[in-house]
Amino acid sequence: MKLVSVYHVDAFTNAPFAGNPAGVVPDAGTLTVPQMQRIANELNLPESAFLMESDRPDADFRIRYFTPATEIDFCGHATVGSTWLLATERGWLEKGRPIVFETNVGLIPVELDSVDGQLRNVTMTQIAPSVREIGVDPEEVARLVGIRAEDMDDRYPMKLASTGGVHLLVPVRTRDAIDRAVPLSSELAALNRKHGITTTHLFTWDAPAGYDLYTRDFAPAIGIPEDPVTGAANGALSGYLALEGMLAKGEVHQLVIGQGHAIGRPGTLHVTVETTGAHPVIRVGGAAHITIAGQLRLGAE
């Protein structure tokens, strides 16, 4: 019988049962891709991360991400959860340097912020953001995500944005409208597959006290009805705000984004958007909490 260490880490929170849960398998080098997919399906968390040695001298680990249904190229909250685990359980905090992950979209360095030897926050620098048009009727998107057409905020363009995965950004006028959203999952999944979209991400500036933006994320095309707190989608959103001129150029902007409140898993993301260079730099940070530690017992293949 093969034993595999596995962890359940709640990301973008410092408490259990909040934020976004990720499975983390820190010693995945001997696992096959089908085994990784079956483990992710068994854990049945939004995403699970599998860590192994990297062939690149400038990376500390190769990391692969799986939903219960499929492999995806990048996942923010599972990166935060993996970093937190390595720093607190595997001695990486004492190394005093960032951890660099090799992902399908490139290298992702993650900085460790500690106070008196205690980890407080981890912050990943995502790949350069991009935005592009999508030829879809906003009223149809409103119907698919389960809000009224008048709930759409026409002050902001609905676009596709990416810092790894592709996210459909849907501007909404109020937090209440976002909280009331009940998506038509099968139809939304079909739209997302047609356009190569990873998640559909609703956002509003009508945020709770202490937050700048409030968001909600649906990803039925990759097997996730709702992703509680999304590092990748909110990174893409932050890049969109910079590229579309909604954040002033030549400055460093600090955003606090809230997500997960609508489904009882509130989380907080701290995003730094640097617009001082030729291209915006997006850094997404947060805390995490290791909620479950155990072993999977794999039978013979």
Name the residues annotated as catalytic.
Answer: 47
The packing angle between helices 231-243 and 76-89, to 10°, is: 120
- With H, G, I as helix, E, B as strand and everything else as coil, classify residue 222: helix
Question: Rounded to the nearest 5°, which phi and psi values hold at 265?
Answer: -130, 65
Cα separation, 234 vs 250, in Å, equals 21
Whole-Å CA distances, 159 to 131, 134, 166, 213? 7, 6, 10, 17
Using alpha carbons only, how large is the chain's radius of gyration in Å? Answer: 18
The packing angle between helices 185-195 and 138-145, to 10°, is: 130
Q: Within 13 Å and on the Cβ side, how many CA atoms surround 141? A: 24
Pairing of strands 267-274, 281-286: antiparallel
